[in-house]
Amino acid sequence: MEVHLAEGPITVIDGLLWWSYSENTGASFGMFKQGGVFLGLAAVAVTALIVWYLSAVETRGELIGLALVLGGALGNLTDRIVRGEGVLDGAVIDFIRVPNFPNFNVADSCITVGVVFLLALSFRSHQGTETVTESAN
């Protein structure tokens, strides 16, 4: 169910960007509409996995990509925890609207950019890349 901000969507850039409130009980693009608890558990698992893996990160790029995914997962997880009647069954608040695309939020953007960044890094050769420990010295 979509509820518009105060008196409807707010135009930020005419024809390109609006703030438009909606609640998403599922995942991206309206998939898994009643999957909030499962998605919340998946966010907890991803968070734990990333936190565990952080000690093995070798490059600044990996750290940035993982931090973006972690921040996005925690942002959406927070919505699921605080906005529902039970544990993890709350809706995520989406408010960014662009043409021909479902509403999304900053957390979704962080996850997407982080994953794309990590995928791009995986295609690069690791020769000549600076490690986190080298950059600290």
Tell me the CA end-to-end span of the chain in Å, nearest whole number: 52
Considering 14, 79, 89, 94, which one is annotated as catalytic?
A: 94
Tell me the C-alpha distance between 9 and 16, whole Å. 12
Tell me the C-alpha distance between 104 and 18, whole Å. 11
- Which among 6, 20, 33, 40 is positioned nearest to 103, based on CA atoms? 20
108 annotated active-site: yes
94 annotated active-site: yes
Considering 14, 79, 89, 108, which one is annotated as catalytic?
A: 108
Parallel, antiparallel or unpaired: strands 10-13 and 92-97: unpaired
Active site residues: 94, 108
